[in-house]
A = this chain, B = another copy of it.
Amino acid sequence: MAKLYHVPLSPFCRKVRLSLAEKKIDCELVEERYWEKDADFLRRNPAGKVPVLRVDGMVMAESVAICEYLEECYPEPSLMPKTPEARYEVRRLIGWFDDKFHSEVTSKLLYERVNKKVMKLGFPDSTNVKAGAKAIKYHLDYMAWLLDHRRWLAGDAMTLADFAAAAHLSSLDYISDVDWHRQESVKDWYAKIKSRPAFRSILADQIPGFPPPAHYADLDF
């Protein structure tokens, strides 16, 4: 069976968990306190971060590389469209969320509020929290603009781009940092993706010291 070394609220781990679950690849989840730099873990991934996936006799790191590998080796159900143009758009949006959204929003809200406490790095920096709370509005509007003429973020089929976005938003939703009233179309999109069986394990996450709000696991939020 595959084994994923992860942190429950990491959006990069959640993207891989969603891919694995959607493709029905059985996987054991192992929580990894990567910031403690355990020697065994550094052997598995010299980059010292999660996710790390043990599958098919390999030990793999980097969520983008892992998801592309899963797509190539476990193509059904497909999370990538067929044409190079459509595949480009999926990869562009994965970059948008994992790079831009991550640095402007996730790192400023989730990392300030949760990671700093868990890793004993002090208190949240209010300037960062304010900047993150402001930036997420612009990102929700951008998603609504995409969803204005598409059923899913990258086109008419659900893809890895939706999982990348849902991974970030679900982690932020765990700490009540998403205003679902801002854009109805984004809420509808999230309701669709949240109700998939692949999402169940993510909705069941519980982080000690950070109880999730009632709406977090509620499909009718």
A residues contacting B by CB (< 8 A) are 46-47, 58, 60-62, 64-66, 68-69, 72-73, 84-85, 87-89, 91-92, 94-96, 99-100, 142
Contact = CB atoms under 8 A, between A and B. Distances in A.
Contacts of A68: 87-88, 91
Nearest to A145: B46
A65 B96 CA distance: 10
Contact of A64 (B61, B95, B142): B95
Given A47-B96, A142-B46, A91 B62 contact: yes
28 contacts: A46-B142, A47-B96, A58-B85, A58-B88, A60-B88, A60-B92, A61-B92, A61-B95, A62-B91, A62-B92, A64-B91, A64-B95, A65-B88, A65-B89, A65-B91, A65-B92, A65-B95, A66-B88, A68-B87, A68-B88, A68-B91, A69-B84, A69-B85, A69-B87, A69-B88, A72-B84, A72-B87, A73-B84
A95 B46 contact: no
A193 to B, nearest CB: 21
A58 B87 CA distance: 13
Nearest to A89: B65
Contacts of A92: 60-62, 65
